[in-house]
Amino acid sequence: MRHLIDPMDISMTELKDLLDLAEEIIKKKEDFNQVCKGKILGTLFYEPSTRTRLSFEAAMLRLGGSVIGFSDAGVSSAIKGESIPDTIRTVSSYVDIIAMRHPKEGAPKLASYYSFVPIINAGDGGHYHPTQTLTDILTIRLKKGQLSNLTIGLCGDLKFGRTVHSLIKSMSSYGNKFILISPQELQIPQYIKMELFNKNSSFMEVESLEDVIDKLDILYMTRVQRERFFNEEDYIRLKDSYILDKEKLKLARKDLCILHPLPRVNEISYEVDDDPRACYFEQVKYGMYIRMALILRLLGVM
Ligand code: CP
């Protein structure tokens, strides 16, 4: 039985297969609308979500399956003190596959030790968010037609942004350059820099978006993550470090692809949404298709 806990659980060959399958689903949706008939997805969300939970649920429904679960741990028996192992042994007796989000790093990994069915990590604290990484990679492949030889700028909260860490780990395997744009306090953690060193990936750290925006093929904006700060004053000081607006975009290439895992707060002005380079709402849609592909492969139905 396979689980997806860390983006690195998927080999490059498996990743290519998932991307190909997602593209096939996009092209021939009607061929897939009954393939999970009789299967049930459990969505266990101990932390808020719009895109991840609803795209998982939409994915399973579009495959002809069903969904049960909770979107708030407060309505589950976790509120009475039930442990993750007991919850997982229970829910995995009812469903065929589980997508789980939890604020504690490692919770989905723990769940995978007790589950009778595949566990998909739908985000664990500041740790991993592998299906967002799959979403980002599918979007890059569809928008740029390639996964290598790109200059990728990642901007904002590079310290707490779990999607950034996972994306760097994955995209560094394809021979890309990285420009890491953040305030000093929100720089990328050392262990991610070590990954880049170990893979001989070219990267530089800068504070100014304007200084480098003209060099980028991809600009991956991120939200400063209020929920990960210990101190509200630090959050308020740093939250508007970067705001991408039309003025800054005048400096960028015509074929720039702007991504954001969403939700956004202030870091991309609403005026940017109409720019053809803004790809973050297409990214949202591709997230559903890659999750359809993932469900199919983990269930082994295709
Ligand atoms: N990108 C993402 O994980 O969004 P949600 O928190 O809304 O699921």
Domains and CATH numbers, the chain: 7-128+286-299 (3.40.50.1370), 130-283 (3.40.50.1370)
Question: Averaged over 143-159, what is the pLDDT?
Answer: 96
With CA atoms as reference, report the closest residue to 256 among 275, 242, 240: 275
263 CB under 6 A from ligand 1? yes
Give me the sheet containing 40-45, strands edge to edge: 66-70, 40-45, 97-102, 119-124
pLDDT at 160: 82
Flag whether pLDDT at 298 surpasses 80.
yes
Interval between CA 200 and ligand 1 midpoint (Å): 31
Interval between CA 193 and ligand 1 midpoint (Å): 25
49 CB under 6 A from ligand 1? yes
Q: Count Cβ atoms below 10 Å from residue 226 Cβ, excluding itself.
A: 14
Going by alpha carbons, the residue nearest to atom 1 of ligand 1 is 261
CA-to-CA distance for 32 and 26, rounded, in angstroms? 10
CA-to-CA distance for 35 and 28, rounded, in angstroms? 13
pLDDT at 227: 67
Flag whether pLDDT at 31 surpasses 90.
yes
Going by alpha carbons, the residue nearest to atom 3 of ligand 1 is 52
Interval between CA 162 and ligand 1 midpoint (Å): 11
Cβ atoms of 159 and 182 closer than 8 Å: yes
Alpha carbon 60 to its chain's center:
18
CA-to-CA distance for 122 and 5, rounded, in angstroms? 8
- The encoded tokens of residue 12 equal 């490059």
- Give catalytic residues, as residue numbers: 51-52, 80, 101, 129
pLDDT at 185: 87
- Helix extents (H) in the chain: 12-27, 51-62, 84-91, 107-114, 130-144, 162-171, 190-198, 232-238, 246-249, 280-299
Interval between CA 123 and ligand 1 midpoint (Å): 9
Determine the atom of ligand 1 nearest the C-alpha atom of 135: 1
Specify the range with the lowest mean pLDDT, choosing from 90-94, 129-133, 227-231, 268-272. 227-231
- The encoded tokens of residue 51 equal 């895109």
Flag whether pLDDT at 229 surpasses 80.
no
Residues 6 or more apart in contact with residue 101 via CB below 8 angstroms: 44, 45, 46, 47, 49, 52, 53, 121, 122, 123, 124
Flag whether pLDDT at 162 surpasses 90.
no
Flag whether pLDDT at 198 surpasses 70.
yes
Beta bridge partners of 155: 181, 221
CA-to-CA distance for 78 and 46, rounded, in angstroms? 9
- The encoded tokens of residue 128 equal 């991993």
- The encoded tokens of residue 135 equal 């979403």
Which residue type sits at 29?
K
Which residue type sits at 134?
L
- The encoded tokens of residue 176 equal 């890309």
Determine the atom of ligand 1 nearest the C-alpha atom of 122: 3
CA-to-CA distance for 280 and 240, rounded, in angstroms? 19
Q: pLDDT digits over 48-87, tens only?
A: 999 999 999 999 999 999 999 999 999 999 999 999 999 9
Determine the atom of ligand 1 nearest the C-alpha atom of 47: 6
Q: How much of the chain exceeds pLDDT 90, in percent?
A: 86
132 CB under 6 A from ligand 1? yes
Q: Which of 52, 136, 284 to mutate to test the pocket of ligand 1 (most atoms within 8 A of CB)?
A: 52
CA-to-CA distance for 69 and 7, rounded, in angstroms? 24
Flag whether pLDDT at 179 surpasses 70.
yes
135 CB under 6 A from ligand 1? no
281 burial level (CB within 10 Å; 0-12, 13-18, 19+): exposed
pLDDT at 240: 79
**pTM, two decimal places:** 0.95
52 CB under 6 A from ligand 1? yes
Q: pLDDT digits over 84-126, tens only?
A: 999 999 999 999 999 999 999 999 999 999 999 999 999 998 7
| Structure confidence at residue 228 as a pLDDT band (50, 70, 90) | low
| Helix, coil or strand: residue 99 | strand
Determine the atom of ligand 1 nearest the C-alpha atom of 287: 1
Q: pLDDT digits over 239-253, tens only?
A: 878 999 999 999 999
Question: Averaged over 186-204, what is the pLDDT?
Answer: 93
Going by alpha carbons, the residue nearest to atom 6 of ligand 1 is 49
Going by alpha carbons, the residue nearest to atom 5 of ligand 1 is 49
Residues 6 or more apart in contact with residue 117 via CB below 8 angstroms: 1, 92, 95, 96, 97, 98
Interval between CA 262 and ligand 1 midpoint (Å): 6
231 or 23, which is more confident? 23
Q: Which of 56, 132, 166, 167 to mutate to test the pocket of ligand 1 (most atoms within 8 A of CB)?
A: 132
With CA atoms as reference, report the closest residue to 141 among 252, 291, 18, 25: 18
Question: Averaged over 120-135, what is the pLDDT?
Answer: 93
